[in-house]
Structure 1
Amino acid sequence: MLLIDCPHCGPRNEVEYAYGGQAHVARPEDPYALDDREWAEYLFYRDNPRGDYAERWHHTGGCRKWFNAIRDTATYEFRATYPAGSARPATGPGPTSHEGVQP
């Protein structure tokens, strides 16, 4: 089991949380001006990096608040959690890219 550190409640078991997708995805300024391709990109296209990734999480079994987390997608390690609406924090040293690494 993973322990996820809710910025409002502290560390809790992963079963209390629901994954919410990529964090910091900007909503369209004028949704009526988008064509089908642009809507598809907004709704379905997300980054898929190996390394640090900003995600949204919902603490469904606790405070019921949304927050963001930086998680390493290769190791599942949570590097930072922070309230929704806050800027992404610097996560310090650690892998952000695995160029040249064979799967």
Structure 2
Amino acid sequence: MRINCPFCGTRGNEEFTVLGAADPVRPDADAPVPDWVAYAHARENPRGPHRDLWQHQHGCRAWLVVERDTLTHAVIAVRPARDA
């Protein structure tokens, strides 16, 4: 898979590290324990378009939001995380 880093250009995915889904919302600090358990452990595994947080670990080290299709592995869009 090739990822088009907005700062370095197109690179192989081996230069990147994936953190996970870009959409989970962190509960408030005083949220009940079940909310924290769901946030930390209950993740969707969608088929189709999905947004992930990636870091260009072996490049510019920027955090990116990569939208990709989990069925075909096609990269749909890449943007800096600060802009997402």
| Aligned pairs, number | 84
Q: Secondary structure at the match of 1:32?
A: coil
In structure 1, runs of 5+ residues without a counterpart are 88-103
- Distance, in Å, in 2 between the alignment partners of 1:85 and 1:47 is 24
- Cα deviations by residue, 1:73-93 (Å, 9 ceiling, x for unpaired): 000000100110323xxxxxx
1:24 partner amino acid: D
TM-score by length of 1: 0.74
Aligned residue number for residue 32 of structure 1:
30
SS in 1 for 2:72: coil
Q: Does 1:6 align with 2:2?
A: no
AA partner of residue 33 (structure 1): A
Residue of structure 2 in register with 1:77 after alignment: 74
Cα RMSD (Å) of the superposition?
Answer: 1.2
Deviation readout 1:37-88 (Å, 9 max, x if unpaired): 111111112221110001110100000111101110000000100110323x
1:58 to 49, 55, 59: 55
Change (3 A) 1:85 1:26: farther
Runs of 4+ in 1 over 3 A off after TM superposition: none
**Aligned partner of residue 79 in structure 1, secondary structure:** strand
Unpaired runs of 5+ residues, structure 2, are none
Shift of 1:34: 2.3
* Cα distance per residue 1:5-56 (max 9 Å; x no partner): 112211111110011100022222x212322x11111111222111000111
Greater per-residue strand proportion? 2
Structure with more relative contact order (C-alpha pairs < 8 Å, separation 6 or more): 2
